[in-house]
Amino acid sequence: MLQDADNIVSRGFSALKIKVGGDTIVNEIDKIAQLNHRYQKIHFRIDANQAWTVAQTMQFIEMALTKELPIDFIEQPLKVGFEHQLKALVVKSKIPIMLDESVFNHHQAFQYMHETAVRLINVKLEKAGSITEAQKIFQTVNDFNGQAMIGCMIESKIGIAFAVALANTNKTVKYVDLDAPFMFNYDLVPDGLRLNQTQLIPSNQSGLGIAQRSFDDI
């Protein structure tokens, strides 16, 4: 993890997304504290991937606050199906709680933002299934005066280019987690979206700026 973090920070990124849930809360906090000491000006975005209970989440929050760790949010701490426990957690937490796996469509976004007071949603095009549904989720988030993160699965630059366009046209988007293109050794799509050290730069051509090509050209 340290080697990966060094690489990311050296490229100029100002935030690290940390996957947690595979260790004790104490050990998870210790790892983040070590990273915080090493980098100092980096913010952390915690993704528990449904690994915790309410009690474990609160333990993590209390320890993080005691150590003054700069955490932007905690993503999906509870398992899908336990959303009824979210309100008590959200009300108590001094670190914002974000939903990911609990929200695939705007109906779920409305339900949980209405019932649990959650005000952060991770919107992914592949998860939503279409641009139209993603836009409906953004609108729902906006209706509740909430904020969104636009995230991704492991898409090529084609899917990410759509996500970048959505991020640039939705005022609810506060966080961007579109790291998939940086994971490829090479990309089947050489044109369109351009990657720099920390930026995804849209094409200035029409549409996504991606030329049609045959399989023989790939």
pLDDT in tens, 120-161: 999 999 999 999 999 999 999 999 999 999 999 988 888 899
What is the mean predicted confidence (pLDDT) over 83-109?
Answer: 97
Extract the tokens encoding 214: 């045959």
Catalytic residues: 19, 124
pTM: 0.91
Percent of the residues in the chain that have a pLDDT greater than 70, as a whole number: 97
Domains located in the chain, CATH noted: 2-189 (3.20.20.120)
What is the per-residue pLDDT for 119? 98
What is the mean predicted confidence (pLDDT) over 21-39?
Answer: 97
More confident residue, 22 or 180: 22
List the single range of 26-30, 62-66, 126-130, 188-192 with lowest mean pLDDT.
188-192
**pLDDT band at 55, cuts 50/70/90?**
very high
What is the per-residue pLDDT for 78? 98
Q: Between vectors from CA 111 to CA 108 and to CA 112, what angle results, nearest 5°?
A: 85
pLDDT exceeds 70 at position 218:
no
Q: Which residues pair with 149 in a beta bridge?
A: 122, 175
